[in-house]
Amino acid sequence: MEKYVLLFCLSLFAIGANAQEENSVDSKTSRKLTRQQKIEKRKSEDEATAKMVDMMVKTRQFVLEANYLSNQYGERAIVESRLNFIAIDSNKITIQLASTTGIGGSNGMGGVTADGTITKFELKKTGRSGNMYSIQVFALTHFGSFDIFFTVSPDTNTDASIGGNWSGKLNYHGSIVPLKKSRVFKGMSI
C-alpha cells in the first residue's frame, strides 16, 4: 500500500512539474504576443494622432496650449497651459498670456489677451520624412501686428515664436489640441 501511495505522490509531482513547464512556455509566448500587440497598438495610436494633427493644421482649427514660455535667450518659465495659449480658428486668432495669480494685466488675469485676424497663413511640410509642419502666420490685433512661426510635430508637440513691433521674441512650447476639445480659459480682450 505504501508503494502505491508513494507512486501516486510521485506521479502527481511529475504532472505538476510538467504543467509548470508548459505554463512557463505559454507565459513567454503570451508576453511576446502582448509586447507585439502593445507595439501595434502604439503604432495605430501614433497614426491616428498624426491624422488628427494633419486635419487640425489644414482646417486651421487648433489651440497651442503652452506649458513653457521662453525668450530669445532661451530662458524658460513654466506656465499654466489653460491660461497661456494661441488659438487659431479659420482666419481668427487669439494670443493670450496670463498668470495663475490673476493680479493686474488688461485681461483681468495678470496678462494680455489679443484677438485679431489672420492675414497670411503659409503651411509647409518639413522634416526628414515630411511629417512635420512649418506654419507662418501674420496676424493683426489691437496691440499691433505679429509674425508667428509654428513648428508642429505629428505627435502634437508644438513650438511657436512670436515677433512683433518690438525687439525680441516670445516663444510658446506645448502641444496643439483641436479647437473644440481645448480647455483654455480666455480673459478679457481689448
- What is the topology classification, in CATH, of domain 60-181? Lipocalin (2.40.128)
Residue pLDDT, tens place only, 63-76: 999 999 999 898 99
> Measured between alpha carbons, how far is 58 from 137 in angstroms, rounded to an integer?
13
With cut-offs at 50, 70 and 90, classify the pLDDT of residue 180. Answer: very high
Residue 13 pLDDT > 60: no
Q: What pLDDT does residue 106 have?
A: 82
Q: What pLDDT does residue 9 have?
A: 55
pTM over 0.95: no
Residue 6 pLDDT > 70: no
Residue 161 pLDDT > 60: yes
Strands (E), 4-143: 61-71, 76-78, 85-89, 92-97, 112-126, 132-141
Residue pLDDT, tens place only, 86-137: 999 999 999 999 987 777 778 888 889 999 999 999 999 998 888 899 999 9
Residue 160 pLDDT > 90: yes
